Amino acid sequence: MSTQKEITIYDIAEALDLSPATISRGLKDHPTIRKDTRKRIFDKAKEMGYQQNLFASNLRRSRSNTIGVIVPRLNSYFMSAVIAGMEKVANAAGYNLIISQSTESKEKELANIKTLYNSRVDGLLVSLAYDSENIDHFDLFLNKGIPLIFFDRVFDHPQCTSIVIDNYKAGYEITSHLIRQGSKRIAHITASIKRNVYADRLRGYRDALADHGILYDEKLIFFCNLSEQAGAEATQRILEMDELPDGIFAANDTTAVSCIRTLKQAGIKIPEQITVAGFNNDPLSKVIEPNLTTMNYPGQEMGELAAATLIRKLDTKEGTSLNTIVLHHNLIVRESSQRKGADS
């Protein structure tokens, strides 16, 4: 517990009979410092166990080299892949990550925003909560011109860049695929269409139906929070319908897997009676039997790109004109939707 005194640049300055200014410059490779004094400074710093005090530096420079992250929830495979990607890029560029969860609530999101503002993060990476209607609560950041980048659950705003996949197209593709497999009454289990990801997938679903001459039926749309339990409940309601659907498109894999399990328990044959598709390419999708048809959604890549985009903005100060960056997605067809004799 030897709370020894902190070593500061003043201590090094004294030991080397130089000024603090020179030490400060030497430590960050300032061009006007002679090579040998630079070396002396580094050696002494190491010898004395000097560690920079970032508060002082940040206070002085009004810059934190810290990036704030707000996500709805941390406990999913997808989100941890995203964070892993962000951490990798941020760390390599000398940035720290401060992470917080909105737990899907706008109030908590606002609280997080304030905390991160107080921590003077240099920028923000955000995936929005279910119930955030708009992004007025980000004004603190927007008014100050602090970069704000959305990923996955995004919001269109002239000042912000969004990183997404083309959820409309993905929803269209997955629905068309189910139709090509012979499904005509396709249920869709999804979440709040306040969020682009769900609204877009739903649009894709509707247009795919229309383009194949299938009437849209509101009763086939089930809204829930996409948890395992919600998936089971939605499926239960589906099973109680007068006329059973012959296909189900769930907006994430957790729900789709829960759905398959419930259907199997009810003795329904998949994909013969009902085709099922999910979304995300969660590890679960390769394990459930039958294997789940799903949309590959590159979480790690999305995290890396979000962080890289933000850092580029911070380092170059140039307001990149890019407003939306779209990542590739791809349909992974597996047994849960593949009927004999149909093409994929």
Partner DNA sequence: ATGAAAGCGCTAACAC
Partner DNA sequence: GTGTTAGCGCTTTCAT
Q: For binding to a copy of itself (CB under 8 A), which residues are involved?
A: 1-4, 6, 49, 51-56, 58-59, 62, 64, 66, 73-77, 79-81, 83-84, 87-88, 91, 96-101, 112, 114-115, 117-120, 140, 143-145, 228, 254, 257, 261, 283-284, 287-289, 300, 319
Q: How many of the other CB atoms lie within 10 Å of CB of 222?
A: 22
Q: Which does 304 bind (CB under 5 to 8 A by kind): DNA, a copy of itself, none?
A: none
121, 64 in Cβ contact below 8 A? yes
If one asks whether residue 34 binds DNA (CB under 7 A), the answer comes out as: yes
Both structure tokens of 113 = 């925003």
CB of 201 to a copy of itself, least distance (A): 22
Q: Which does 269 bind (CB under 5 to 8 A by kind): DNA, a copy of itself, none?
A: none
Which alpha helices (DSSP H) does 28-180 contain, by range? 35-48, 54-61, 77-92, 106-118, 139-144, 167-180
| 135/144 Cα distance (integer angstroms) | 15
CB of 101 to a copy of itself, least distance (A): 5
78, 299 in Cβ contact below 8 A? yes
Both structure tokens of 315 = 């380092």
CB of 116 to DNA, least distance (A): 16
Give which of 229, 235, 255 is closest to 187, Cα–Cα: 235
Binding part of the chain for DNA, among 56-64, 262-270, 275-283, 327-335 by CB under 7 A, reads 56-64
Which residue of 39, 43, 48, 56 would you call a contact of DNA, by CB under 7 A? 56
Give which of 156, 211, 174 is closest to 324, Cα–Cα: 156
If one asks whether residue 28 binds DNA (CB under 7 A), the answer comes out as: yes
| 321/310 Cα distance (integer angstroms) | 13
If one asks whether residue 227 binds DNA (CB under 7 A), the answer comes out as: no
297, 137 in Cβ contact below 8 A? no
If one asks whether residue 10 binds DNA (CB under 7 A), the answer comes out as: yes
Where on the chain is the footprint of DNA (CB under 7 A)?
Answer: 6, 8-10, 17-22, 24-25, 27-28, 32-34, 37, 50, 52-53, 56-57, 59-62
